[in-house]
Amino acid sequence: MIKGIGIDLLELDRIEKSLEKSNRLAKRVLTNRELKKMNELEHNHRKVEFLAGRFAAKEAFAKAIGTGIGKLSFKHMEVSHDQNGAPMMKVKGYETNTIFVSISHSKNYVVAQIVIEEK
């Protein structure tokens, strides 16, 4: 049974401007593993896409559960990839749910959608 659906759309240039100033947003949004993976990327544009995708996915999850960010921290959520390269998400306190995540980028935007299903 579907427990929640969330979506978030974000402009890449907002994230790019933030990263040009400092790494503060990345440190606030990403877990240590995610931050390490982002820092391993060679091209700045790829880093922007990486951070924006995870930010959007985490915002979409917060919308899907109906609380928004606040009761749930960005650090409680982690986006990684399965063996085929598809994104997957783990969230502390939601281990008994199946979380479907989709992230897509265009030249100017990133969109993420979350579907939460009770097991």
Query: pLDDT tens for residues 76-100?
Result: 999 999 999 999 999 999 999 999 9
Residues assigned a catalytic role: 63, 105
26-56 residues labelled b (16+ CB within 10 A) or e (exposed): beebbbeebbebbeeeeeeeebbbbbbbbbb
Q: Count structural domains, the chain.
A: 1
Boundaries of domain holding 6: 2-118
For 10-30, write each residue's pLDDT tens digit.
Answer: 999 999 999 999 999 999 999
The string of pLDDT tens digits covering residues 21-80 is 999 999 999 999 999 999 999 999 999 999 999 999 999 999 999 887 777 899 999 999
Give the predicted TM-score (pTM) of the model.
0.94
Token pair in block for residue 55: 């930010």
Return the CATH number at 103.
Answer: 3.90.470.20
